[in-house]
Structure 1
Amino acid sequence: MSWSIIAPAPGTPPCGPPTPGADGWTVTRHADVLAVLTDPRCVVPAAAPGAPDGTLAWLRGAVSRFSPPEQHPARRAVGVAALADLDPDELRTTAARATAVLLDVVAAPAAPAGRTTAAPTAVPPHQATLPGPADADRSATVPPHQATLPGPADADRSAAVPPHQAILPGPADADRSAAVPPHPVMLSGPADTDGSGAGAPTARAGMSPAAGGAGDHPGAGRADVMALLARRVPVEVLAAGLGLADPVAAAPAVAAVAAAYHPGADPAAVAAADRAVAALLALSPPAAPEVAANRIGLLVQACDATAGLIGAAVRWGLAAPAAVPTADLLAEVLRLEPPVRATRRVTTVALRLGGRTIGPDTPLLLRFDAANRDPAAHPEPDRFRPGRGSLTFGAGPRGCPGERHALALAEGVVDEVRRRCAATGGPVTHETHPTLHVPTQIEVSVR
């Protein structure tokens, strides 16, 4: 089969009229999904308000993603304003630079035993803002930690950053500190610079299984794109743009929140997400609670979806002709293998949809993966053909406000992977999730 024919992922339903089921109706046709997305009578299931501040339930109750219609516009405006200060072209460039640094680390030959010349330098302390009353001292110095400067190929270029403390909200007599796990750091930049990386985020040499000098090409290594790049670079770059004090520490916290963001998560995941929300608040710039929540919400929304987009684009893009622009590749991957396979709405009144009558208070499951392959909207729906568009980012007043930013971050990563990497032929599996389609691992060899 040619790479330009991309079959539907397992579990993708065929297009057809809306169908009833035990949990509501499933909507699969392009026209019907678009009609629901743009119909004010179909609303997002809202999160319950009134949860304790600084918890996952509080975050879900404060972000625009789960807001009722009367609160959504104002909360969405907060996210739109935050993104307005971020230039997508700069995000793309920064993501590409960070990706290149990480791939350099993987591709570098392993240092011979006994020949290590690490060159540590102290990263200055930074301030973490603590939640609390307006008249409280809300800043705390995070201790300096060590990073490793780039250097000769035979140098030991990684160093573990010691844990530092994030202050969690809670009663005055509570233990309000929690350790942020250690993370290895690699500063980018030429060997003769001060190691500041010229604005690039720090990159970690040891955050994924990757062995230098063991690939298909001389001096190449193997790496898992998902762990090394897709799940870290976009979140770190976006966190830096949004002003979080430590983007590297923010990335695993965002992942913990994303793992429990949608209803149905197990109690252990929710507890981990509660701690992560508190840590992210401590790393965030001073802001009103609703502003801080929606800033974190942008990071969470970008986490799994952008990682899934990068994974799918690498999976298919490494086989694509080099002449296919990465932007075109991403657009068609969004249609053919969307990282967000479905979203939910609830009817507020009885309505007609696709020739069917659906009653009020009825859940609707909108299947993007099916609608994007509707032959009525896209002839030869399984064929890669740029320029056709998709519904994956949504439509109407609830359409994703960060579409350009997410695509820019993904393009920066995927461009570098296409330039530097080759597929190893390993199997691609995906995480188990009712609405997301995210690869668990994609191994590549790095040149």
Structure 2
Amino acid sequence: MIEARELLADPRCTLPPVFGGAPGTVGWLRTNVARFSTGQAHARRRSLVTEELAGFDPAWLRREAFDRTTEAENSGPVDLKAIVVETLAAALGLPAGLSADIAIVAKVYHPHVEATSVEDAAVARLAEACGGATEHTAARIGLLVQACDATAGLVENALDESGAAEEALAATLRERPPVSMTRRYKDGRLVEIDLAGVPFGHGPKACPGQAHALAIAAGILDATRQAMC
């Protein structure tokens, strides 16, 4: 954990490079989100995300996730990723029905994965739904994409844990975090950083939505457990 904290806070450890693309493509998204930015651009783009998150009430997110999960449990198989995305989208005031495209984009969000025209088309649809190809739109799409797999994976891994939702999620983050590593370049060499002990990252790239992700995960977990009783 000490090494992870040191590496994540070390300015000599840089992110894998991203390459631009036409507005409304995966390349455009990568080059316009805080996640893959540095310097002033990172600060500006991260502030767009933190300003959005500041308007979210974690208690509301938990209730909303609980209600959506309960409704889904009553109508068929539960799509955890869809619940995560639709809960956040509702908080952002975005239209319903974005989860399928978000899930498509999430698979190729990181620059070591090659995107195709399928993912580019999904980004184009999302950009249109979120207000056009601007940095603000990229921040919103990035927020949904980064929450999608990680939060759903957290819930999936926590289902076998006992105790209150908060305890189960904390144990899962210690023992089976949904995101176990991240990548940086140091001295020209790709380094894989073990996130054990720092599941939401550390340093300037630490996840700003930890409380929000945990609230959504707790709401889904509560509803899922209730349905299993």
Asked if these proteins are the same fold (TM beyond 0.5), I'd say yes
The residue that corresponds to 1:289 in the other structure is 134
The residue that corresponds to 2:104 in the other structure is 256
Map 1:177-216 onto structure 2 (within 5 A).
208=77
How many Å separate the matches in 2 of 1:256 and 1:229?
14
265 and 309 in structure 1: CA distance in 2 versus 1, 3 angstrom threshold: same
80 and 338 in structure 1: CA distance in 2 versus 1, 3 angstrom threshold: same
SS of 2:113's partner is coil
Q: Does 1:420 align with 2:205?
A: no
Map 1:146-295 onto structure 2 (within 5 A).
208=77, 228-245=78-95, 247=96, 249-266=97-114, 270-284=116-130, 286=131, 289-295=134-140
> Which of 206, 212, 215 is the equivalent residue of 1:408?
215
How many Å separate the matches in 2 of 1:260 and 1:287?
21
How many Å separate the matches in 1 of 2:133 and 2:145?
19
SS of 2:198's partner is coil
Kindly provide the CA deviation profile for residues 110-158 of structure 1, in whole angstroms up to 9, marking residues without a partner as x: xxxxxxxxxxxxxxxxxxxxxxxxxxxxxxxxxxxxxxxxxxxxxxxxx
What is the one-letter code of the residue matched to 1:68? Answer: T
How many Å separate the matches in 2 of 1:330 and 1:229?
19
The alignment of Structure 1 onto Structure 2 pairs a total of residues equal to 229
Q: Does 1:367 align with 2:212?
A: no
344 and 264 in structure 1: CA distance in 2 versus 1, 3 angstrom threshold: closer
69 and 364 in structure 1: CA distance in 2 versus 1, 3 angstrom threshold: farther
How many Å separate the matches in 1 of 2:184 and 2:157?
26
The residue that corresponds to 1:74 in the other structure is 44
What is the one-letter code of the residue matched to 1:238? Answer: L
The residue that corresponds to 1:326 in the other structure is 165
271 and 287 in structure 1: CA distance in 2 versus 1, 3 angstrom threshold: closer
What is the one-letter code of the residue matched to 1:399? Answer: A
How many Å separate the matches in 2 of 1:102 and 1:307?
15
TM-score, normalisation: structure 1: 0.49
**How far did residue 104 of structure 1 move?**
2.3
Higher relative contact order (CA 8 A, sep 6+): 2
The residue that corresponds to 1:14 in the other structure is none
Q: Does 1:391 align with 2:198?
A: yes
How many Å separate the matches in 2 of 1:102 and 1:289?
33
How many Å separate the matches in 2 of 1:104 and 1:277?
31
How many Å separate the matches in 1 of 2:227 and 2:135?
42
288 and 257 in structure 1: CA distance in 2 versus 1, 3 angstrom threshold: closer
The residue that corresponds to 1:42 in the other structure is 13
How many Å separate the matches in 2 of 1:87 and 1:278?
29
The residue that corresponds to 2:70 in the other structure is 100
**How far did residue 72 of structure 1 move?**
0.9
**How far did residue 53 of structure 1 move?**
0.6
**How far did residue 340 of structure 1 move?**
0.6
Identical aligned residues as a percent: 39
Kindly provide the CA deviation profile for residues 334-387 of structure 1, in whole angstroms up to 9, marking residues without a partner as x: 12111111101122xxxxxxxxxxxx222211012xxx3xxxxxxxxxxxxxxx
CA contact (8 A) 1:46 1:68 kept: no
The structure that is helix-richer by fraction is 2
CA contact (8 A) 1:229 1:413 kept: no
CA contact (8 A) 1:43 1:69 kept: no
CA contact (8 A) 1:230 1:307 kept: yes
The residue that corresponds to 1:61 in the other structure is 31
The residue that corresponds to 1:436 in the other structure is none
How many Å separate the matches in 2 of 1:68 and 1:77?
13
Question: Which ranges in structure 1 are unaligned for 5 or more consecutive residues?
Answer: 1-29, 107-207, 209-227, 348-359, 373-389, 422-446
How many Å separate the matches in 2 of 1:408 and 1:229?
17
How many Å separate the matches in 1 of 2:184 and 2:4?
10
**How far did residue 266 of structure 1 move?**
4.9
**How far did residue 264 of structure 1 move?**
4.0
> Which of 294, 297, 308 is the equivalent residue of 2:153?
308
How many Å separate the matches in 2 of 1:71 and 1:266?
24
The residue that corresponds to 1:335 in the other structure is 174
How many Å separate the matches in 2 of 1:231 and 1:292?
20
Q: CA RMSD in A?
A: 1.6
